[in-house]
Amino acid sequence: MFPPFDPERDERKRRQTVFTRGQVPVRVLIPNIFTLVGLCAGLTAIRMGIEHRWDLAVAALVFAAILDGIDGRVARLLKASSRFGAELDSLADFVNFGVAPAIIMFNWALEDLHSLGWIAVLVFAVCSALRLARFNVSLDRTDTPAWQSNYFVGVPAPAGAIILLLPIYAQDLGLHLPSLTPLVLIYTIAIALLMVSRVPTFSGKLIGQKIAREHVPPVFVLAALFIALLLTYPALTLAVGSVTYLALIPWSAYRYHAEERKAAKTAKAQGGKGQATQEPSASPDEQVIRLRTKP
């Protein structure tokens, strides 16, 4: 059930020895436990959305998103990556960030549009599935430049689920949007298209891998401040975060294309330099002339 799968380290022989004994290391189970707890949170968000308990539905979905960001890092930290865990994480992500937000949004506002609203949430769920499938396929590529690892292609599914619920955050802040149901429908389809688009968005994978010693205390303070704001003012924190993320999409696309042009110029300069250092081969006639003119 847990075949070895770690593309970054060549430990296959050692892991096969462990698994052939019929025993699974406990460290392999820990990331999958995080994934299953996140799946339970996503299913709970669906129930809360059906019961029209919007605060609890949003809280469960945010909790699932936090666990989704943790399980992969825990797996890499414990060297416990497995093909089973990768497949389980993908299936849980579709339920948590494709099905759950679609049902929540339909019960919150789009139900008034009947079939048209249902089509909108179906489009969102389908786009979420396509986004996850494309991401899984991209993991097998090994020819991607290092700088591209800092970008996603399109909006990732967890971010798409969080920003989809922006109208709910706005209502909690006093902005009554249910009367603007057609706008919510357009917004839902727009977020769905962003997930399957080719627009580069920041991933942050290369940020914070190593932190200077003097920056460690401020990072802890900022993390504690974010958690305090999320627990004290959840609607405001999520609304500001969603708007900020949407505003950063054009900037991330600009940075991506700037780095792409820089990489292309560097490659062209290196290629031109390599060609300049090579002496062009002489033609047969020139070689004959050189041999005849030698003393």
Give the tens place of pLDDT for each residue, 7-56. 555 445 444 444 555 677 777 788 889 999 999 999 999 999 999 999 99
Give the tens place of pLDDT for each residue, 111-163. 888 899 999 999 999 999 999 988 888 776 666 676 677 788 889 999 999 99
Instruction: Check: pTM over 0.85? Answer yes or no.
Output: no
- Band of pLDDT at residue 173, cut at 50, 70 and 90: confident
Residue pair 83/151 in contact by the 8 Å Cβ criterion: no
Please name each of the domains of the chain with its CATH number. Answer: 12-207+222-258 (1.20.120.1760)
Give the tens place of pLDDT for each residue, 176-197. 765 678 889 999 999 999 999 9
Task: Give the Å distances, CA to CA, from 61 to 17, 68, 170, 222.
Answer: 39, 10, 17, 22
User: Strand 200-202 relative to strand 151-153: parallel, antiparallel, unpaired?
Assistant: antiparallel
For residue 152, give the H/E element and its range: strand 151-153
Please list, residue by residue across 215-254, b when 16 or more beta carbons sit within 10 angstroms of its beta carbon and e when fewer do. eeeeeeeeeeeeeeebeeebbebbbebbeebbeebeebbe
Amino acid at position 250, single letter: P
Residue 200 DSSP class: E
SS3 48: helix
| Average pLDDT along the chain | 80
For residue 73, what pLDDT is reported?
Answer: 80
Contacts of 50 (CB under 8 A, 6+ apart): 103, 107
Most confidently modeled of 92-96, 212-216, 223-227?
92-96
For residue 178, what pLDDT is reported?
Answer: 59
Contacts of 194 (CB under 8 A, 6+ apart): 154, 155, 160, 249
Residues 219-222: contacts with CB under 8 Å, at least 24 apart: none
Rounded (5°) CA angle 26-69-5: 45
Q: How many Å apart are CA 33 and CA 213, to the nearest integer?
A: 32
Cα dihedral 20→23→24→26 (10° resolution): -150
HEC secondary structure over 4-24: ECCCCCCCHHHHHHHHCCCCC
Residues 29-32: contacts with CB under 8 Å, at least 24 apart: 29/80, 30/74, 30/78, 30/80, 31/71, 31/72, 31/74, 31/75, 31/78, 31/80, 31/81, 31/85, 32/71, 32/84, 32/85, 32/88
Question: H-type helices in 78-215, by residue range?
Answer: 83-94, 100-108, 115-138, 157-164, 166-172, 181-196
Residue 93 DSSP class: H
For residue 204, what pLDDT is reported?
Answer: 64
